Amino acid sequence: MISDTGTINDKSFNQSAYEGATQAAAASGGKITAQFLPSSSPSDYAPNITTFINQKCGIIVTVGFLMGDATAAAAKANPSQKFAIVDFTYAKPFKNVSTLVYNTVEDGFQACYLAAGMSKTKKVATFGGQKLPTVTIYMDGFWDGVQYYNQKHHTNVQVLGWNEKTQNGTLHRQLHRHHGRPAAHATRSSARAPTSSSRSRATSASAPPRRCRTRTPRRAPRR
């Protein structure tokens, strides 16, 4: 496994991928060995991938959409090597690359539906790290969860920090200036998906199914 810039205790994709690899190794009875290389900058992506190719790893897992180009280049140059990439998809799939994505808008939707029902101030809030598609998609789901809660319960819970219609909101700073101490939901880098109990309670709202929204490749600034 090769991490994106960041650490394996980032409470996000680096950490979950690392924990999955180590747990698989532990459960295999010695048949699987998990190895890890950190990336301190984007310049580390290609050398780290090459290191694992030279070690003839069974599968190389790269983490984060910023590694999309480096993973694609390695997959093209090494068609017999198996890869997987977390949080990225390709417009033209590679036979030797598995893309590990899920409907990321749903967890924000469920979390905010639940938060709207628990808020005593009728205000809930979200904030993100940077205005990148893989961050704002969570915030879109959060916004949608409130709108659906208001529709079902004939109320008017307010969302602070994001507006799906305008795609504008709060990034990098917490919402201390807002009155009423709203419940806050951190996106991507500082919060995991809802717990199983939260997920089941939110799902019970019978929210309409949403289309899976994955992103096509694009160059993006470092997070």
In a 13 Å sphere around the CA of 141, the CA atoms on its Cβ side amount to 30
Task: Over range 3-18, report the average pLDDT.
Answer: 89
User: Which residue's structure tokens are 């504008």?
Assistant: 168
DSSP one-letter code for 43: G
Q: How far apart are CA 29 and CA 203, in angstroms?
A: 36
Give ∠ CA 159-162-164 in degrees, rounded to 5. 100
Element (H, E) at 16: helix 13-27
Tell me what percent of the residues of the chain surpass a pLDDT of 70: 77
At 131 the pLDDT is 82
Q: Which residues pair with 158 in a beta bridge?
A: 123
pLDDT at 74 over 50: yes
Q: How far apart are CA 132 and CA 81, in angstroms?
A: 30
The answer to whether 108 and 193 have CB atoms below 8 angstroms apart is: no
Number of H helices, E strands in the chain: 6, 10
At 172 the pLDDT is 59
Q: How far apart are CA 51 and CA 45, in angstroms?
A: 10
Residue 36, both tokens: 């890890």
Q: How far apart are CA 171 and CA 51, in angstroms?
A: 36
For residue 220, the one-letter residue type is A
Mean pLDDT, the chain, whole residue set: 81
For residue 31, the one-letter residue type is K
At 142 the pLDDT is 92
At 132 the pLDDT is 79
pLDDT at 184 over 90: no
Greatest Cα pair distance, the chain, in angstroms, is 60
CB atoms within 10 A of CB 20: 15
CATH of 2-100, one of 3.40.50.1980, 3.40.50.2300, 3.30.70.980, 2.40.440.10: 3.40.50.2300
209 falls in which pLDDT band (50, 70, 90)?
A: very low
pLDDT at 222 over 60: no
